[in-house]
Structure 1
Amino acid sequence: MTVELSYDLVTGRSPQRATIVLVGSLGSDRSMWDAQRSALTEVADVIVVDLRGHGRSPTPNGPYTIADLSEDVLAVLDENGLDRVHLVGLSLGGAVAQWIAVHRPARVQTLTLMCTAARFGEPRGWSDRAAAVRAKGTDSFADAVVSRWFTPEFTARDADLVARHRRMVSATSDEGYASCCEALAGWDDREDLGRISAPTLVIAGEQDPATPPSDARILADGIARSRLHVLTAAAHLANVERAGEVTRLLVDHISRGEYDMGRAAARAEGMRQRRSVLGDAHVDRSIERTTDVTAPFQDFITRTAWGDIWARPGLDHHLRRLLTLAILTAVGNQHELDMHIRAALRAGLSADELAEVFLHTAVYAGVPNSNAAFAMVDRAVTEHDSR
C-alpha cells in the first residue's frame, strides 16, 4: 500500500515540459537538495520528495522494502500526470531509482545514480542497525552518519552546514529510519542491472566510506548505457560537498537526454512521413542498402527533411509533392525526380497533373529540364498502368 509522500514541485524556467525527480539519502529530508533544485529549474520542473519515514512524509509501521519506497515515488508521478521523468537518486534514493528503472522502465527518461550501490553490504549489518535505532533513537547515530556524509576537510571548513545536516538525521523518525534500514538489508540489484535501459550517469565520491567508487563501478559495468564520474574531495553527500560540479553534471546529462529524445521523436515521425510519401517498398529497399558510411546521412534526412519539413502542417502532402517535382525539375536532379514521379503516381496523382507541373516549370526553369521530366513521366506512367 502506497504512502502519500510530502514533496515540493518547483516550476522550471525552461519552455520544455521535462521533470526532474530528486530522491535522497537514508536519514535526510528534501532540504539536502537545496543546492540543486533551484539551479535545475533552468532545464526542467523539479520535484523533491521526502521518502516515507523521512522529513514531513508519514511513517507507517515497518518493515519497508525498496519496492514499497519506489511505489510511493511512482504515486507522486501519477498524481502529477507524469509519464516519464529524469530520475536522480542518492544512496537509499539511488536504490529507489534503480528499482523504478528496472521494473517501470517506461517511466524513466534518464537516470542518475549518485553515491549508491546495487547492494549495500551484508544484510545483518542493516538489521542490527535497525534494532539499535529502535532501541536508542536516531540521535545516537547522527554523529556517525554525518562523519560518513562529509570529508574531514569540509567538516572543518563549514561546521554550520554540517551541524544543520546532523540535526536533519536526528529529526528523522526512529521507526522510519529503522524500517528503511530493513529495506536496504533486503536490497540486491546486481542481477538486474542489465535490465536498466535508460541513459545513466553514475556519480561517486572518491572519499565516500559508505558507497565507495568500487560500488559505483559495479553499477556502471552492469548498466549498458552508462558513464561513471568520480568526484575528488567528496564523501557520501557529494551533491552538498561538491554542489556546483554535481549540478553541472546533472544539467549536462539531463540536457543530453532531452536532445536524444528529441532526435528519436524526429526520426520516428520522419520515418512515418517518408513511408507515407514514398511507400514501404521503396523505404525498405533504402534501409537495406544502408551502410556504416551512409547511415549518418540517412538519419539526417529522415529527421530533417521528413521529420521536420514534410511533417509541417502548413502545406498538405499533395501540394508538397507538386512543389518537390517542380523544384527537382528546375535544378535538374533527375534521380530524385524519377523517384518522386513514381511515388506521386502510386499516391494517386494523375498524369495530367504532373504534365501541368512540368509545363509550368518549362516556362520558368527551362525547356531541357522539363523535356527530361516529360520523358520520365512517360516511362513511369506506362509502367504504372501496366502494373
Structure 2
Amino acid sequence: MTLLNHRAEGPSSAPPLLLGPSLGTSYALWDEVAPELSISHRVVRWDLPGHGGSAAGLIKAGATVGDLAGLVLALADSLGIERFGYAGVSLGGAVGLHLAVHHPERLSSLAVICSSAHFNGSRPWEERAALVRREGLAALAENADARWFAGDFTVPRLVRDHRDADPEAYAACCDALAAFDLRDRLAEIAVPTLLVAGREDPATPPSHLREIADAVPGATLVELPGASHLAPAQCPEAVLTALRAHLGQGASRGMAVRREVLGDAHVDRAQDRQTPFTARFQDFISRYAWGEIWTDPTLSRRERSMITLTALVAHGHYDELAMHVRAARRNGLTPEEIGAVLLQTAVYCGVPAANSAFATAQRVLAEEDGTS
C-alpha cells in the first residue's frame, strides 16, 4: 500500500504526535516547531496527497476529509502507532476533528490550528477546484502570501510547495473542504482539545475557532496576535508555547492518576529519587502509562489491577508486584480476589512464580492489615 510521505523525528519510545499540514503546503510548514516538539515526542509530520513527497494518486476527485483521515490512520498503523496526539493546520486540522469524532479511540489529544468545523460552504471550494483543474496552480501561488501570512512575512519554501503541488490532487483536497461540516458533531469530542486562532487569519478567522471551543467540552482557545493562516510558520514560538502547555496535560493528568492508584508516599519517594538522568523516563511513565493507558475508560481500574498483577508475576517483577498489590487494594480488590488472581497465575505462569507472588502478596497484605 502506498503511504503518505512523512518525516519522523524524536525517540521511538516517546509519546507519538502526528502533525498535519494546510492545503497547498508540505510538512515543511512545521520546520520551526517539529524539532522542538521531538525532544519529548515521537513526531511524525505528513504531506497531503500530491503535495511535497506524497503521491497524487492517493486521492481522487470527490474526496472527503474522511478519506484523508483514513490515509493518516494507515500511516500510523504502518509505524506501529495505536494512539497518538494530533495537531493540524487548516485542512490538517479538519482531519484531526474528523478523527476525534469518528475514531476517538486513536487520539490521546487534539490541537486544531487556524482551522474550522466548516469552511464557509461548498461553493468557494468548488469554484477553486474548477479553476485549478482548468488553469493549474501558478495564479493561486502568486497570491499565497496574502492568504497565508500577515504583513510582509513569507516562507519561500512553502510558496514553492504550493506552486509545485499536483493540480488534480489539490483540486480533490478542495472537494474535501467543500463537503466538510462537523458542527453538529463537535459536542461528541472527548479528548483534550486545544484551538489556536490567528488574529489576522482571513481564511479561518478566530470566530471559527471560538465556535469549536464553545461546542467541545473542556476545550482551550488561544488567539495569537500578529498570526495569520499559517501560524506555525509565522509565529512558531507562540504555537510551541501553546502546544507544550496542551501536551503537558497528559503528564499532569497522569500524575494525578498515579497518585490515586499508587499513593502519595510512593510517588513522593519516586519524585525525590528523580535525577536529570531519569527525569525524561519519569515524565514518560506519567504521560504514557498513567496519563493514557490507566485513564482509558475501556477497562476499570479493578480490571487493570488484575491484569497488572498477572503480568508482573509472569515476568518475576516482585518489587513492582508488592507495589501493585497495594494499588489493587486501593482499586477495590479484596485479599480473596488478589489470591484468586495469583492462583490463576499458577496455572498459566508456573507454580514457582506464583509461589513467590503469594509470599510477596501475603507480606504486603499483612502490612496493610497491621498484623505483621
Matches within 5 A, 1:62-101: 62-101=61-100
TM-score by length of 2: 0.72
2:35 alignment partner in structure 1: 38
Q: Answer yes or no: is the 8 Å Cα contact 1:109–1:199 preserved in 2.
A: yes
Q: Which amino acid aligns with 1:192?
A: R
Alpha-carbon RMSD: 2.5
1:20 alignment partner in structure 2: 17
TM-score by length of 1: 0.70
Q: Which amino acid aligns with 1:205?
A: G
Hey, what's the Cα distance between the residues in 1 that align with 2:359 and 2:203?
60
Hey, what's the Cα distance between the residues in 2 that align with 1:206 and 1:314?
62
- Cα distance, 1:279–1:47 mapped onto 2, change above 3 Å: closer
Task: Give the deviation of 1:146 after TM superposition.
Answer: 2.4
Task: Give the deviation of 1:122 after TM superposition.
Answer: 1.8
Hey, what's the Cα distance between the residues in 2 that align with 1:162 and 1:280?
57
Which string of whole-angstrom CA distances, capped at 9 and with x for unpartnered residues, describes residues 90-148 of structure 1? Answer: 00000001001111101111100000000000201100100001111111101233211
Q: Answer yes or no: is the 8 Å Cα contact 1:3–1:52 preserved in 2.
A: no
Task: Give the deviation of 1:77 after TM superposition.
Answer: 0.8
Report how many aligned residue pairs link the two structures: 290
Matches within 5 A, 1:19-168: 19-60=16-57, 61-152=60-151, 154-155=152-153, 161-168=154-161
- Cα distance, 1:254–1:323 mapped onto 2, change above 3 Å: same
- Cα distance, 1:32–1:280 mapped onto 2, change above 3 Å: closer
2:279 alignment partner in structure 1: none
Task: Give the deviation of 1:262 after TM superposition.
Answer: 5.1
2:5 alignment partner in structure 1: 6
- Cα distance, 1:179–1:281 mapped onto 2, change above 3 Å: closer
Q: Which amino acid aligns with 1:227?
A: T
Q: Answer yes or no: is the 8 Å Cα contact 2:155–2:233 preserved in 1.
A: no
Task: Give the deviation of 1:37 after TM superposition.
Answer: 1.0
Which string of whole-angstrom CA distances, capped at 9 and with x for unpartnered residues, describes residues 274-301 of structure 1? Answer: 6854795989xxxxxxxxxxxxxxxxxx
Hey, what's the Cα distance between the residues in 2 that align with 1:235 and 1:251?
20
1:204 alignment partner in structure 2: 197
Hey, what's the Cα distance between the residues in 2 that align with 1:280 and 1:173?
58
Q: Answer yes or no: is the 8 Å Cα contact 1:146–1:165 preserved in 2.
A: no
Matches within 5 A, 1:268-347: 272=305, 276-277=328-329, 280=332, 316-324=360-368, 340=369
The answer to whether the aligner puts 1:194 opposite 2:191 as a matched pair is no
Hey, what's the Cα distance between the residues in 1 that align with 2:358 and 2:248?
30
1:230 alignment partner in structure 2: 223
- Cα distance, 1:203–1:322 mapped onto 2, change above 3 Å: same
Task: Give the deviation of 1:316 after TM superposition.
Answer: 2.1
Q: Answer yes or no: is the 8 Å Cα contact 1:43–1:251 preserved in 2.
A: no
Which string of whole-angstrom CA distances, capped at 9 and with x for unpartnered residues, describes residues 3-52 of structure 1? Answer: 5111011123xx96201100000000111110011100121110010121
1:332 alignment partner in structure 2: none
1:247 alignment partner in structure 2: 240
- Cα distance, 1:322–1:264 mapped onto 2, change above 3 Å: closer
- Cα distance, 1:137–1:231 mapped onto 2, change above 3 Å: same
Task: Give the deviation of 1:249 after TM superposition.
Answer: 1.2
The structure with more radius of gyration: 1
- Cα distance, 1:315–1:18 mapped onto 2, change above 3 Å: farther
For residue 228 of structure 1, give the secondary structure of its aligned residue in structure 2: strand
Q: Which amino acid aligns with 2:144?
A: V
Q: Which amino acid aligns with 1:111?
A: L
Q: Which amino acid aligns with 1:25?
A: S
Hey, what's the Cα distance between the residues in 1 that align with 2:83 and 2:147?
33
